[in-house]
């Protein structure tokens, strides 16, 4: 995306500013200097916290925070667009950075942002996060960053490990540099359950330091968490890494299993199944993930935290197919394939630490979430 970059991001508009096409755990205290601690205290005192139902005294869990200006990278995508829905609905100002990468049809993301562009509290900057200069030219002051932008997908990362490193590691460092240079003290990072890899001890806990990633994508997320610890330790940026577990729901990426299977089944075409159907996933409905992100924006218990966001329940691939058949009212024609490199046999989130940090989070029952996804797909 070349051309003459404009110098502003206009409310309700789009601007192109580009110039070219062992992690710590919850409660880990970083040895910050006095100035950094003071800045973190000022950030904390500026937030009006309210106790959540089910939260224990002293937890510091919050259900809302003052009206703010938030920078959301990847805000045109699946999870990002749902987060923007929520933030605008809560009265916040939102600036989104997204480059509409053609990993999947960019028109899908364009449709995601159409309603947002009608808000005078929303701005869209079409920037590749690898372009540090373009990020620096973003105008305005931001109270927090939610960094969702990434090159996604385990299997594609095996084919392009360097590309994933460039976007997910260098790009993340560019966004952290923006936070450092602008004095933005709250940074929420989208990590992934894939960092646990083939760790056999389930449910996976954030205080289990045995991370055994088996894909380039997973390794980039581990790197992002470690970069966050460095910037928290050195520059006083509160960094909250959220390990998402298999997010699904309306607007899900078309390459992901639930969306891909459902479309193929409705079209009467076979679904590709890798392995014998015994692999297990902890599926998380997108609204539940958004709730966890929103609470993390005002998290204030430590300078650095890593938290799981999942459902604490696993579903086998065979069970998923059977539930899709029931939900859609059609029979699946299964096309068997060998196991794929990079795929882990199971994911399973322990939610104990996230509940302690953020309060009891919603966990949409899987059949209900599938029904809501199917309603969107057919609508």
User: 52 near 360, Cβ under 8 Å?
Assistant: yes
Looking at residue 51, the DSSP 8-state letter turns out to be P
Three-state SS annotation for 76-140: CCHHHHHHHHHHHHCCCEEEEECCCCCCCCHHHHHHHHCCHHHCCCEEEECCCCCCHHHHHCCCC
Q: Please give the Cα distance from 365 to 119 (Å, whole number).
A: 32
User: 360 near 312, Cβ under 8 Å?
Assistant: no
Q: End-to-end CA distance of the chain, in Å?
A: 33
Looking at residue 278, the DSSP 8-state letter turns out to be -
Structure tokens given for 214 = 């088996």
**Count of residues making up the chain:** 379
Q: Please give the Cα distance from 93 to 120 (Å, whole number).
A: 8
Catalytic, 231? Answer no
Q: Please give the Cα distance from 78 to 51 (Å, whole number).
A: 29
Q: Which of 217, 248, 299, 304 is catalytic?
A: 217
Element of type H or E holding 11: none
Q: Please give the Cα distance from 325 to 318 (Å, whole number).
A: 11
Residue with tokens 């990993």: 103
Question: Where in the sequence numbering do the catalytic residues fall?
Answer: 217
């Amino acid at each position: 995306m070349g051309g003459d970059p404009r110098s502003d991001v206009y409310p309700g508009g789009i601007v192109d500013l580009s110039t070219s096409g062992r992690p710590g755990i919850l409660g880990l205290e970083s040895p910050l200097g006095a100035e950094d601690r003071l800045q973190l205290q000022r950030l904390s005192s500026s937030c009006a916290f309210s106790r959540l139902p089910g939260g224990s005294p002293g937890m510091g869990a919050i259900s809302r925070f003052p009206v703010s200006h938030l920078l959301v990278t990847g805000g045109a995508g699946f999870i990002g667009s749902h987060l923007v829905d929520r933030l605008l609905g809560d009265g916040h100002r939102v600036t989104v950075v997204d480059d509409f990468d053609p990993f999947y049809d960019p028109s899908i993301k364009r449709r995601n942002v159409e309603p947002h562009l009608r808000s005078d509290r929303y701005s869209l900057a079409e920037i590749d996060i690898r372009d540090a200069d373009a990020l620096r030219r973003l105008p305005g002051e931001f109270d927090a960053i939610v960094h969702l932008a990434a090159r996604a997908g385990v299997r594609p990362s095996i084919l392009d490990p360097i590309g994933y490193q460039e976007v997910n590691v260098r790009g993340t460092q560019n966004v952290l540099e923006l936070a450092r240079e602008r004095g933005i003290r709250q940074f929420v990072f989208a990590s992934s359950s894939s960092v646990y890899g083939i760790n056999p001890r389930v449910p996976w806990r954030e205080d289990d330091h045995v991370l055994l990633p088996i894909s380039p994508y997973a390794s980039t997320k581990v790197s992002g968490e470690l970069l966050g610890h460095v910037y928290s330790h050195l520059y006083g940026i509160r960094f909250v890494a959220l390990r998402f577990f298999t997010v699904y729901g309306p607007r899900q990426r078309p390459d992901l299993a639930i969306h891909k299977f459902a479309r193929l089944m409705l079209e009467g075409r076979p679904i590709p199944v890798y392995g014998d159907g015994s692999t297990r996933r902890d599926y998380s409905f997108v609204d539940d993930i958004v709730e966890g992100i929103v609470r993390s924006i005002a998290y204030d218990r430590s300078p650095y935290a890593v938290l799981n966001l999942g459902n604490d329940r696993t579903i086998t691939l065979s069970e998923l197919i059977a539930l899709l058949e029931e939900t859609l009212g059609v029979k699946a024609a299964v096309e068997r394939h060998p196991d794929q490199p990079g795929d882990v046999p199971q994911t399973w989130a322990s939610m104990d630490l996230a509940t302690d940090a953020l309060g009891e989070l919603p966990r949409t029952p899987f059949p209900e979430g599938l029904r809501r996804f199917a309603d969107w797909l057919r609508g």
